[in-house]
Amino acid sequence: MSRLTDYLTSKGVAFEVLTHERAFRGIDEARALGIEADEVLKTVILDTGGEHVALVLSSGARLDMGLVREAVGDPDAHLANEDELTRDFGGFELGALPPIGPLLAVPVIVDPEVRAHGPVVFAAGSQTESVKVDAGELFAAVPARVMPLTEAWALGRS
């Protein structure tokens, strides 16, 4: 956790550390903390052309793979499997990747709904620890592209 908190501190991002029961998914994290799923961010890793990209969306949202492939410019992009995640992100527990590109050493794409949300919670690298931050402040300080990634955006497209 110190890598994450050190990084947030170095960027001037105010945060609160939260501990909770073990949670493997963002929706479980929300339940453990007694908050709504849309207040919890999930970080999903995508394989594209042999490289990873981190996608950040609300735990209650569903990825639209058409939008995702459009965002990364790769029609063959697909979600990374558990073996890849364990191999390439071994410093973090499965299901607990923080949405911080420099810590993951990958580019990050954030769904627009997330950035405008206000206070959010995300896994801090552990299945029992999370961090609460203001989403606007976080993604103003952390490098990330903002692009539509979820079904809600797909339904709104003409």
Mean pLDDT of the chain, nearest integer: 89
pLDDT of residue 13: 95
Q: Where are the domains of the chain?
A: 2-147
Give bridge partners of residue 58 from the DSSP assignment.
41
In angstroms, the Cα distances linking 146 to 10, 33, 91, 151 are 22, 27, 26, 15
Chain segment 10-20, per-residue pLDDT in tens: 999 999 999 88
Of 124, 114, 126, 136, the C-alpha closest to 16 is: 124
Q: Give yes or no for a contact between 108 and 56, defined as CB atoms under 8 angstroms apart.
A: yes
Chain segment 125-137, per-residue pLDDT in tens: 888 899 999 999 9
CB count in 10 Å sphere of residue 151: 15
| CATH code for the structural domain at 2-147 | 3.90.960.10
Residue 149 has pLDDT above 80, yes or no: yes
Both structure tokens of 46? 């995508």
Query: What is the C-alpha separation between 64 and 8, in angstroms, rounded?
Result: 30
Read off φ and ψ for residue 26, nearest 5 degrees.
Answer: -60, -40
